[in-house]
Amino acid sequence: MKFTKRTLLSIAMIAGLGTMSAAHAYEDCNAKRAALENQIRIAEQYGNYNKVMGLKKALANVNAYCTNDSVAKDAEKKVQKLENKIADKKADISEIKADLNKAKAKGDAKKVAKYQSKLTEKQAELKELQAELKAARAQLAAMK
């Protein structure tokens, strides 16, 4: 499949926008506005008018609805959501440990291996969530 220079650039911009929007999720409204205005200029340079229209709509939404308080509330919601996910994950881990202990007591090697694998997976997921929570708390603290 052959890609033109414009197609490749468009793909790179779209991929970057997802990353950029996640990175800017906790910045203040002025930073969001500046980022969108910069993206609009880039899209205009490359003649990507559909992208320009979408970005202008996003900018209008930021101008209409974004306040630093709303950004802080969103950050607080993210922290709470992550705390809830961590609590659920810990409950899952406790259940799996109980199942693992039962399988060990019965001497069922197949189930022991199954539950050990699940336990390892859930513990890795828990570590990821804890890292996300730490970052989200740091960003929230930086806003206050």
The pLDDT of residue 19 is 41
Q: Is the pTM value of this prediction over 0.75?
A: no
Q: What is the pLDDT of residues 91-100, one digit of tens each?
A: 999 999 999 9
Cα 25 from chain centroid (whole Å): 9
Task: Show me where the domains of the chain are located.
Answer: 5-65, 68-143
DSSP string of 59-98?
A: HHHHHHH--HHHHHHHHHHHHHHHHHHHHHHHHHHHHHHH
For the domain bounded by 68-143, which CATH number is listed? 1.20.58
Asked if pLDDT for residue 18 goes beyond 70, the answer is no
Tell me which DSSP letter residue 3 carries: -
CA distance 99 to 110: 12
CA quadruple 59, 60, 66, 71: dihedral positive or negative? negative
